[in-house]
A and B are shown apart, each in its own frame.
Chain A
Amino acid sequence: MLYATTEQHEKLREKVRAFAEEKVKPLAFMLDQGNEFPKEIVKELGELGLMGIYFPKKYGGAGLDMISYAIAVEELSRVDAGVGVILSAHTSLGCNPIYDFGTEEQKLKYLVPMAKGEKLGAFGLTEENAGSDAGGTETVAVLQGDHYILNGNKIFITNGGEADTYIVFAVTTPGIGTRGISAFIVEKGWKGFEFGEHYDKLGIRSSETRELLFNDVRVPKENLLGKEGEGFKIAMQTLDGGRIGIASQALGIAQGAFEAALEYAKDREQFGMPIGAQQIIGFKLADMDTKVSASRLLVYKAAALKTAGERYGKEAAMAKMYASEAAIYVANEALQIHGGNGYLKGMEVERFYRDAKITTIYEGTNEIMRVVIAANLLGPISRTTKPQTKRAPGGTTGYRKKIIFKDGTPEEQVDALVAALEADGYDFTVGIPIDTPVGKAERLVSAGQGIGAKENMKLIEKVAKNVGAAISSSRPVAETLKYLPLDRYVGMSGQSFKGNLYIAAGISGAGQHLKGLKEASTIVAINNNPNAKIFKNADYGIVGDLQEILPLLAKRLDTGEKKPAPPMIKLKRKEPKQPKQIWQLYVCNGCGFEYNPGVGDMENDIVPGTKYEELPEEWTCPECGEEKTAFIEV
């Protein structure tokens, strides 16, 4: 490319721009206001051949290049950035990993209908504890016979709920970080695969964004994408390409905002002349156009490199970083030029201003873009300092056993729960007064919004009495429902529980509530939603209806009048034992140096996770210089 696009590129631009102006523009405000996904428009994009622009025709694509794809996303985003990202997420994140890593069967089964626009694609990597750091992935896939059993949640998923085909990342080998992650193709409609509510977002409101919930979803073995353990590599390579899409989206937003501002500056008169005649407005427009043009050059350069099959990761990151920051700058100045008019709903610049922000965040935050660029410049030295802080494994409440009693009847589940508590040392023949202050209580039975009507609090009181506990609640139950006084709610802003046993009934587990439970020795969760966060933060749990489980629990622990409890002895929480050594260690015959694959040898560019067999032949002992062959297995 010599700083210009081809005629063919510009013809495509005309075609997409015409479609965007005619079909998308009239609906854009309504889609934004209504938080609405444009099903019809997406269908038409398929008919126009835009849903698989750069894939070969034999896989249902249009057989064009990456710049054509960038232009399509740019032109749609110039009018509606939500529509732009639907196309970008579908193409770069949904289709591309199958094109790059799929088997021929997978390509024919999944890529072809997606590239033709008959099916929509999406990509599920992000989780609550795995944002920029995919190593925190907690979704798991366990191979059982011919299927992987998938469990976990993905958040912030573009096209979530609307898409038919999802690329989902899950841990198949725990304990080895990103090398234990694998990618799967998952279809909407499979048993146990559900969606959360559509998020209420600041911008790009015409794109659907939902949580993906996997509960024992059976994924056929043949839907493993690539090999086991290649997930991280697939995700990173996919996101490299995706950044060209997001950069194009940002470019389109900036272009749209710039054009609106230019128009307005010529039209709006103050002090007897168009405001554009004021130098300060002219200079703004000059800066805006310069940034838009610079963005475009970066975006097209990255796209051209990808088309040419050259390394483009650094350039894609530069394009995404620069174009998104330019989009925010340009949208902000465009709104400023519009003055008070630009601040009103219904004005394009108001929407561009909100839409622009996401582009510095998703598909790698701009902070991560700088990490990527720096790593490309500096090589392995940029990865030598490993962060030392480690979150307690598990949820906000630290390490928890997370045992859910699922087997048998509800009675049997309650029996199993009580047996486990007794084995931990709880004596249910003793108890404390029900009105013991929360901060001093040894045991608490706590009600959440799941408790329902106020009369159900009687149930909580009865359980508390038989457990030998005081009662408490979550914040909304005290603050909004006013079932209990404010000094009885547990949470970061309320009371902290420092005792032993906490039974959370109908509590979903908001972060601020969980922070009040960190010191609890044992947390029991009873909730009818198996995906409630409280289960990830509990030692024991029963999934079931409170109306059914609570009476059973009360009955099971009915030991008559409780004896007064002796002074509290704080029960120690069971920390997890050290995980078994999973790395095969080798020791050097020349000095006794121990090679631990979990640590690697960063000074010599051997990244952690490199097994002895994978060490290059020329690698030598970092301490004494013996050859690799002088090592013996421990």
Chain B
Amino acid sequence: MHNVRKITDDLYWVGSDENRLALFENIHPLPEGVSYNAYLLLDEKTVLFDTVDWAVARQYLENVEHVLDGRDLDYLVINHMEPDHAACFEEVLLRYPKAQVYCTNKAYLLMGQFGFNLDNTKLIEVQEGDTLKTGKHEFLFIEAPMVHWPEAMVTLDVTNGFLFSADAFGSFGTLDGRLFDDEVDFEKEYLDYARRYLTNIVGKYGPHVQALLKKASGVELKMLLPLHGPVWRTNLGYIVDKYVKWSTYTPEEDGVLIIYGSMYGSSENAARSLARRLVERGVTNLKLYDVSKTHESYLIAEAFKYSHMVLVAPTYNLNLYPPMENFLQHMKLLNLQNRTIGLISNGSWAPTSGRIMREIIDEMKNMTILDEEVELVSSMSERDDEAMDALADSIKKSFEKQEKTA
């Protein structure tokens, strides 16, 4: 049975929620589910914006058929070729064989590589600045390389300021019947989902997101229609501001993210002791995570959110505790910058974890490691009191410094 939402008199949401997928990209846990959005316009010509993952193809095809209500499909726009969106375009073309496909040259090349076949008589390759008139509406194609693949583009309806924004402004989380930002409590329900989605999927490509935001800054946008999550029609500035922060690697909040690895609880003890010392100094905005128990994608999102990070880790086989090493390497890969970092290292006979954490962070950009590193020998004791206090003081002081310069 079809399940669609009307956006305007001639534009419909024809996507679907998906709640059976355990891991997005087979990496990131997805307990909140995800929506695959697609949109269908009924102008003099009919235009379908993107398709969906194969998992929800039946729902989608039913939706499209219902909205078309007997009309044929004229155009299919593929903004993003990643299989979670483009996987069923062949099926669409089988059902609507007269439809022509609008996409970039790179998208077309990728289709071939993925084994999707598009008869090139149906292909209309577009470049930055090309337009498509469908009757009342006119569309402008804007290239959006590396947001989050090189072939990506976004499509702007120049007649009403609607932006079909591909992966940009998207979010994890099913929609559950709601569609617009004013129908949900975004900050409460979706902000964490959106952050985890953006930072893990597109985090590395901050400069490319900024380039797209710059292109869009000249246009008066009325609606943002992403491929995942709620559609923005009310508070567009809110999500754009978040994107500016994430893509420039600017912290959202002054706060401390404490991430610890601990085999037998000694390093955890130090992490909790530091948390207590921070709270006693008035630093109450903090979060504590066990690196072995929390999936990396959550830690990455939190790292993008907070201004400070304290890493607590033991030495393992003369190296850094592997879950911590994985996290740090992933964070480096995602290009996180501009954070203040405190280190607590632990080791019993040949401690190396502090040095290795420092080396990895040193390879990142614009990271400040506080001088007051704590080096534990097996477990924390009175002799470490002074150093632990010094680290807490230093974190507190760095907040004050930040306020002064702000």
Contact = CB atoms under 8 A, between A and B. Distances in A.
Interface of A: 569, 572, 574-575, 577-578, 580-581, 587-592, 624, 630, 632-634
Contacts of B368: 577-578
Select the residue from A574, A588, A592, A632 with max chain B CB neighbours within 10 A. Answer: A592
Contacts of B150: 589-591, 624
8 contacts: A572-B372, A581-B366, A587-B208, A588-B146, A592-B146, A632-B207, A633-B207, A634-B207
A168 B353 CA distance: 45
Nearest to B145: A589
Given A578-B367, A624-B150, A632 B386 contact: no
B400 interface: no
Contacts of A587: 146, 205, 207-208
A393 to B, nearest CB: 14
Given A587-B146, A624-B150, A592 B371 contact: no
B371 A574 contact: yes
B211 A632 contact: yes
Contact of B371 (A569, A575, A634): A575
A589 B362 contact: no
Nearest to A633: B207
B365 interface: yes
B80 interface: no
B228 interface: no
Nearest to B207: A634
Interface string B200-240: 00001101100100000000000000000000000000000
Contacts of A574: 371
Contact of A572 (B207, B208, B211, B371): B371
Interface in B351-372: 362, 365-368, 371-372
B342 to A, nearest CB: 13
B134 to A, nearest CB: 28
A101 B16 CA distance: 71
Interface string B74-87: 00000000000000
A592 B362 contact: no
Contacts of B373: 572
B366 A589 contact: no
A56 to B, nearest CB: 53
A575 B372 CA distance: 11
Select the residue from A574, A575, A587, A590 with max chain B CB neighbours within 10 A. Answer: A587
B211 A581 contact: no
Nearest to B148: A592
Contacts of B106: 590
Given A587-B146, A588-B146, A630-B145, 8 more contacts: A572-B372, A577-B368, A578-B366, A580-B366, A581-B365, A589-B145, A590-B146, A592-B204
A588 B366 CA distance: 21
Interface string B358-398: 00001001111001110000000000001000000000000
A580 B205 CA distance: 21
A596 to B, nearest CB: 10
Contacts of A577: 368
Nearest to A587: B207
Interface of A is mostly: loop
B366 A592 contact: no
B128 to A, nearest CB: 11
Nearest to A590: B150
A569 B386 contact: yes
Q: Which 7 A-B pairs have the closest CB atoms?
A: A589-B145, A634-B207, A590-B150, A592-B146, A587-B207, A572-B371, A592-B205
A583 to B, nearest CB: 11
Interface in B132-150: 145-146, 150
B364 to A, nearest CB: 9
B197 to A, nearest CB: 18
Contacts of A632: 207-208, 211
Contacts of B211: 632
A477 B367 CA distance: 46
B215 to A, nearest CB: 11
Interface string B163-202: 0000000000000000000000000000000000000000
A591 B146 CA distance: 7
A577 B365 CA distance: 12
B108 to A, nearest CB: 15
Contact of B208 (A569, A575, A578, A589): A589
A633 B208 CA distance: 9
A625 to B, nearest CB: 11
Interface string B144-164: 011000100000000000000
Interface string B7-49: 0000000000000000000000000000000000000000000
Contacts of A590: 106, 145-146, 150
Nearest to A586: B207
Nearest to B373: A572
A589 B371 contact: no
B357 to A, nearest CB: 14
Nearest to A580: B366
A587 B362 CA distance: 20
A589 B367 CA distance: 25
B207 to A, nearest CB: 5
Contacts of B386: 569
A589 B371 CA distance: 38
B83 to A, nearest CB: 18
A183 B377 CA distance: 52
Given A575-B371, A632-B211, A589 B146 contact: yes
Contacts of A624: 150
Nearest to A630: B145
A592 B208 contact: yes
A574 B368 CA distance: 13
A337 to B, nearest CB: 59
Nearest to A585: B207
Contacts of B207: 587, 632-634
Contacts of A589: 145-146, 150, 208
Nearest to A425: B390
B362 A578 contact: yes
Contacts of A588: 146
A626 to B, nearest CB: 8
Contacts of B367: 578
Nearest to A634: B207
Nearest to B214: A632
A572 B362 CA distance: 19
Nearest to A591: B150
B202 to A, nearest CB: 10
Contacts of A569: 386
A562 B145 CA distance: 69
B398 to A, nearest CB: 12
Nearest to B362: A578
B175 to A, nearest CB: 30
B213 to A, nearest CB: 13
A567 to B, nearest CB: 10
Contacts of A580: 366
Select the residue from A574, A578, A588, A633 with max chain B CB neighbours within 10 A. Answer: A578
A634 B362 CA distance: 19
Contacts of A592: 146, 204-205, 208
Contacts of B366: 578, 580-581
Select the residue from B211, B362, B372 with max chain A CB neighbours within 10 A. Answer: B211
Nearest to B146: A592
A305 B336 CA distance: 55
A587 B205 CA distance: 9
B210 to A, nearest CB: 9
Nearest to A567: B383
Contacts of B362: 578
B214 to A, nearest CB: 10
A634 B214 CA distance: 13
B362 to A, nearest CB: 7
Contacts of A581: 365-366
A258 to B, nearest CB: 57
A591 B152 CA distance: 12
A80 B211 CA distance: 69
